[in-house]
Structure 1
Amino acid sequence: MSTLRLHVPGPLSSGLTLDLPPAAARHVQVLRCQPGDPLVLFDGRGGEWTAEVRQMGRREVGVQVQAHVEVERELPVAVTLAVGMPANDRMDFLVEKATELGVAVLQPLVCERSVLRLSGERAERKREHWQGVAVAAAEQSGRTRVPAVRPVQALGEWLRAAGGAQAHVLSLRADARPPARLAPASSGALCCLSGPEGGLSPAEEDAARDSGFAPLSLGPRTLRADTAPLAVLAAVAAWHAG
């Protein structure tokens, strides 16, 4: 059985003793860990830490941090996926798989054709839920950093502060270029905008282009809202594998 990996907000340091956050503590309890059992912790600041369970309480789990291990499993390209939120549990799936593939930032968007429309407290609850999905996926996949899930925004509002030479919008238009032309900026950053079910409207795609987004094609087939951005991210991850 592999050693349990857990995200702890930190910062962590050698010799530190602490109680695990509630979600991490429940995970340890469900697996019936005992004092002396090893753990691997990461705080999102790079690398990971060996640790040991020291105390099992009814609700609290005490651990001691041991040694820092220099390990890097992140993409060298900081990829932002800005997505028109798919409905039902498809956004959960997208967040989980994008985290496994190495996304740095996820920006949920409300677009003209969006089925899922969130605002106010409901939007923030969903964002917190998706951030939890990202934490769990980072723990499982061996990542040393957890992607940030940004607050839900309307596409137009987000575009006013987005864009740039290395920003792309997924498009079925004839002038859209294949992903082989993707290249990160000198800063190592890349942004990809993808629509909801039904895609971006023509006016939204025009607005994205006006904001500096270059049209990107994934071929003649129409991909689902939770598939298209993952295809781009998988291509970037494959190019930088090893």
Structure 2
Amino acid sequence: MTAPVFVVDRLDAVGPEFVLDGPEGRHAVSVKRLRPGEAVVLTDGAGRRAECEVVGTEGKDRLVVRVTSVSEEPPQTPRITVVQALPKGDRGELAVETMTEVGVDAIVPWQASRCITQWKGDRGLKALGKWRATAREAGKQSRRVRFPEVADAATTKQIAALLAEADFAAVLHESGEDPLATVELPTEGEIVLIVGPEGGVAPEELTLFEEAGARAFRLGPTVLRTSTAGTAAAALLLGRTGRWS
């Protein structure tokens, strides 16, 4: 089994011996019950990692480790960004969790015209915070050291601008004539994938996205919910681009 991952704010401040404290230290000591000699990984979530060995514990929330090596994981290519329309309830966190687990690089919340959920004011900030916390926890759970970026919620016009800069852009939509599984993909650069809301991408949104350079593609013969479509499509792209090989 791979070593558990814990997050620290600054890896450049980690010396030969380091004390992991706070919530991360408490989880390591009181929940994981790590013991001397066991391996752990410290990360800043931005690609840097420190391989460590547990030396001991202090109380219920301080883990003392010896750093054996420090390295940096370069960004993978092509970079995969998923634009996720806002689902109802906690399905947004589910989408973020599973997309993080499969390896998506960035997630952009999208306030599509047919979204029932509305991110406004403090409620919107709270929901965004939940998405970012979910990405962090899922990143740790899946043993990632480069967590996905969760952007601020974007409008349709902002999404169109993002698509215009992409090396490949796709909208999951039933109007697509070609399956995503057969399209030619770039081996580097930026791939942007659009996942619409439960009510689907509105015609005017689809037109705007097509004008920005995105094409509509089918994912498969079944209808997936918005909270699972992005994960399924990202897994397909990760396999086809060689990132899973």
Query: Normalising by structure 2, what TM-score?
Result: 0.84
Cα 1:167–1:106 shift into 2, 3 Å: same
Residues in 1 aligned to 2:217 and 2:176: alpha-carbon distance in whole angstroms? 10
Which residue number corresponds to residue 27 of structure 1? 27
Which residue number corresponds to residue 45 of structure 1? 47
Consecutive unaligned residues of structure 1, counting only runs of 5 or more, are: none
Q: Is 2:216 the counterpart of 1:215?
A: yes
Counting aligned pairs with the same residue, the percent is 26
Consecutive unaligned residues of structure 2, counting only runs of 5 or more, are: none
Alignment of 1:20-169 (within 5 A): 20-22=21-23, 24-28=24-28, 29-33=30-34, 38-43=39-44, 44-52=46-54, 54-57=56-59, 60-68=61-69, 75-163=76-164, 164-169=166-171
The amino acid across from 2:25 in the alignment is A
Residues in 2 aligned to 1:232 and 1:204: alpha-carbon distance in whole angstroms? 20
Q: Is the 8 A contact 1:81 1:229 kept in 2?
A: yes
Task: Name the stretch that deviates more: 150-159 or 176-185.
Answer: 176-185
The amino acid across from 2:175 in the alignment is R
The amino acid across from 1:152 in the alignment is A
The amino acid across from 2:158 in the alignment is E
Shift of 1:175: 3.3
Which residue number corresponds to residue 207 of structure 2? 206
Q: Is the 8 A contact 1:86 1:225 kept in 2?
A: yes
CA RMSD of aligned residues (A): 2.7
Task: Name the stretch that deviates more: 95-104 or 173-182.
Answer: 173-182
The amino acid across from 2:172 in the alignment is L
Residues in 2 aligned to 1:182 and 1:226: alpha-carbon distance in whole angstroms? 25
Q: Is the 8 A contact 1:105 1:150 kept in 2?
A: yes
Which residue number corresponds to residue 224 of structure 1? 225
Which residue number corresponds to residue 6 of structure 2? 6
Shift of 1:214: 1.7
Task: Name the stretch that deviates more: 147-156 or 93-102.
Answer: 147-156
Shift of 1:146: 0.7
Q: Secondary structure at the match of 1:66?
A: strand
The amino acid across from 1:179 in the alignment is A
Cα 1:52–1:145 shift into 2, 3 Å: same
Shift of 1:97: 0.8
Residue by residue over 1:98-129, the C-alpha shift from the partner in whole angstroms, topping out at 9 and shown as x without a partner, is 01110000101111110211123322222222
Residues in 1 aligned to 2:50 and 2:75: alpha-carbon distance in whole angstroms? 13
Shift of 1:161: 4.1
Which residue number corresponds to residue 184 of structure 1? 186
Cα 1:37–1:178 shift into 2, 3 Å: closer
Q: What is the count of residue pairs matched by the alignment? A: 239
Cα 1:121–1:162 shift into 2, 3 Å: farther
Query: Normalising by structure 1, what TM-score?
Result: 0.85
Residues in 2 aligned to 1:102 and 1:183: alpha-carbon distance in whole angstroms? 17
Q: Is the 8 A contact 2:58 2:64 kept in 1?
A: no
